[in-house]
């Protein structure tokens, strides 16, 4: 079924759209990127890996300068009253820059997806068909205040033979500028066109609007950030979009669950990092284990500072046990559709596996869900019927991550079904081309 999209709002694009001059400037930048990409797309993996090595070295060498630019962004953001969570994402200090450089080296070490033969066979008439992976072309990225994404996207794009056109947002502008200057310098030194990795931040918001209009200039647009940003891009873009990120993530504790596994998994999924898309937001517990499980869990969550929004049955059990003093609330209907991104969890008791699956498929954003169970048939049922990008069995939802999956970095986590689903790495940044090798075949 479709990506459940409870968000039906008006279009956010300013009436009239961006200035025609901005439009043509952004289109020209994308076209220059496309021309540079046509050359990069034919580079072999050795060349691209060496390039990424130089990028990593340059980032290491320039860490102090980039960090200094970041300090200026941080100071301005603090003055603007940015909250602590966003400030933390905006921070790109020397340690994080070196870590990013390490990520670039990791991407360099991965296999090149370009040229991979997906399938191939000989037709009855002797025509030999092969379907091979080729780069997508020009990848547009619209994101907010996350300077590490600049490096991640640049490295994934260069390795997969793509060009990148970026809108990194006002708050991180100095940091992104300093970072892109370093990357551009390496591209120039290596005889490549710095147009391969460019920003449109100099056009402000109109730059992002122009990217959304750049059908035929940009091949795919990936928004990464808050729900408002993603919705705006999905609704306004004429360029094909890959929707990312929103995670109303569920854990279902089956009646067959090993409760000794369930407690640490739920605790980890909820609290190991808050405010990320793969953090658990909702807990469904089978009625048969609710009495045994909920008090234990509520105590552990409560100790970790998590507020519980419980349905009536769960409320009675937790309240009766007195295991979440001061942190227990009654859930309202809206809770089931809300991604809290906070120390808060919705808790609901279900009568059956069926009810759990139906609830999840009705309320999930299709990101990640997990079942805690020992019963084989329940696990089969859950994994086959849950309609989400990732389904975990007896494991934390926090593992849905390009790095964890072995992709080195990620472009984002797709919650849509078209093209890519789940963490997007190098392979997801390719399309395919069919090549038919003939000896004079004509159609009869």
**353 to 382, contacts with its own copies by CB under 8 A?**
361
The answer to whether residue 111 forms part of the interface with its own copies (CB under 8 A) is no
Nearer to its own copies, 59 or 263 (CB): 263
Find, among 225, 66, 205, the residue nearest to 145 by Cα.
225
Nearer to its own copies, 177 or 299 (CB): 299
Beta bridge partners of 223: 142
Which tokens in the block code for residue 226? 């808050």
CB of 76 to its own copies, least distance (A): 33
**265 to 294, contacts with its own copies by CB under 8 A?**
265, 267-269, 272
Find, among 146, 148, 150, 149, the residue nearest to 199 by Cα.
150
Q: How many residues does the chain have?
A: 444
Q: Report the residue from 45, 87, 129, 321 that binds its own copies according to the rule CB under 8 A.
A: 129
What Cα–Cα distance (Å) separates residue 243 from each residue in 199, 234, 425?
21, 7, 15
For 26, residues 6+ apart whose C-beta sits below 8 A from its C-beta are: 18, 165, 200, 203, 207, 210, 211, 214, 217
**Segment near its own copies (CB under 8 A), from 13-21, 31-39, 287-295, 303-311?**
31-39
The answer to whether residue 384 forms part of the interface with its own copies (CB under 8 A) is yes
The answer to whether residue 431 forms part of the interface with its own copies (CB under 8 A) is yes
**33 to 72, contacts with its own copies by CB under 8 A?**
34-35, 37-38, 42
The answer to whether residue 136 forms part of the interface with its own copies (CB under 8 A) is yes
Sign of CA dihedral 203, 52, 414, 144: negative
Q: What is the CA angle 175-180-186, rounded to 5?
A: 140
Q: Report the residue from 113, 137, 184, 408 that binds its own copies according to the rule CB under 8 A.
A: 137
What are the strands, taking DSSP E only, across 76-161? Answer: 117-122, 128-135, 138-143
Q: Are 153 and 166 in contact (CB under 8 A)?
A: yes
d(CA 423, CA 239): 21
**Segment near its own copies (CB under 8 A), from 55-63, 119-127, 293-301, 331-339?**
119-127
The answer to whether residue 417 forms part of the interface with its own copies (CB under 8 A) is yes
The answer to whether residue 392 forms part of the interface with its own copies (CB under 8 A) is yes
The answer to whether residue 261 forms part of the interface with its own copies (CB under 8 A) is yes
CB of 112 to its own copies, least distance (A): 14
The answer to whether residue 398 forms part of the interface with its own copies (CB under 8 A) is yes
Nearer to its own copies, 78 or 434 (CB): 434
Q: Report the residue from 103, 207, 225, 422 that binds its own copies according to the rule CB under 8 A.
A: 422
DSSP letters for 130-153: EEEEEE-SEEEEEE-S-HHHHHHH
Nearer to its own copies, 176 or 278 (CB): 278
């Amino acid at each position: 079924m479709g990506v459940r999209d409870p968000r039906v709002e008006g279009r956010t694009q300013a009436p009239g759209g961006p200035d025609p001059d901005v439009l043509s400037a952004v289109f020209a930048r994308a076209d220059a990127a496309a021309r540079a990409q046509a050359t990069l797309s034919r580079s072999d993996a050795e060349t691209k890996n060496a390039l990424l090595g130089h990028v990593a070295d340059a980032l290491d060498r320039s860490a102090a300068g980039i960090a200094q630019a970041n300090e200026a962004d941080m100071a301005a953001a603090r003055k603007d009253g940015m909250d602590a969570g966003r400030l933390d994402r905006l921070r790109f200090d020397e340690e994080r820059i070196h870590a990013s450089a390490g990520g670039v080296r990791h991407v360099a070490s991965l296999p090149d997806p370009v040229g991979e033969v997906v399938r191939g066979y000989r037709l009855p008439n002797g025509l030999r068909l092969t379907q091979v992976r080729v780069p997508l072309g020009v990848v547009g990225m619209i994101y907010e205040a996350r300077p590490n994404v600049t490096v991640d996207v640049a490295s994934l794009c260069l390795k997969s033979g793509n060009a990148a056109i970026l809108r990194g947002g006002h708050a991180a502008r100095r940091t992104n500028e300093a970072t892109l200057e370093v990357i551009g310098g390496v591209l120039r030194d290596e005889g490549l066109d710095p147009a391969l990795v460019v920003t449109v931040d100099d056009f402000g918001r109109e730059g992002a609007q122009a990217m959304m209009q750049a059908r035929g200039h940009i091949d795919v647009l990936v928004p990464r950030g808050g729900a408002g940003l993603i919705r705006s891009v999905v609704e306004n873009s004429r360029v094909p979009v890959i929707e990312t990120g929103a995670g109303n993530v569920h854990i279902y504790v089956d009646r067959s669950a090993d409760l000794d596994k369930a407690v640490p998994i739920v605790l980890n999924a909820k609290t190991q990092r808050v405010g990320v898309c793969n953090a658990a937001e909702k807990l469904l517990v089978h009625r048969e284990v609710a009495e045994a499980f909920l008090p234990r869990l509520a105590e552990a969550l409560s100790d970790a500072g998590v507020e519980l929004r419980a349905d009536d049955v769960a409320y009675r059990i937790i309240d009766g046990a007195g295991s979440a003093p001061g942190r227990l609330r009654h859930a309202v209907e809206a809770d089931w559709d809300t991604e809290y991104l906070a120390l808060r969890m919705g808790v609901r008791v279900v009568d059956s596996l069926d009810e759990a699956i139906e609830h999840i498929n009705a309320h999930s954003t299709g990101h990640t869900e997990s079942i805690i169970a020992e019963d084989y048939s329940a696990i089969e049922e859950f994994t086959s019927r849950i309609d989400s990008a990732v389904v975990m069995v007896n494991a934390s939802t926090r593992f849905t991550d390009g790095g964890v999956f072995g992709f080195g970095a990620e472009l984002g986590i797709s919650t849509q079904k078209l093209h890519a689903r789940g963490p997007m790495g190098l392979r997801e940044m390719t399309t395919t081309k069919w090549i038919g090798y003939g000896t004079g075949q004509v159609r009869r």
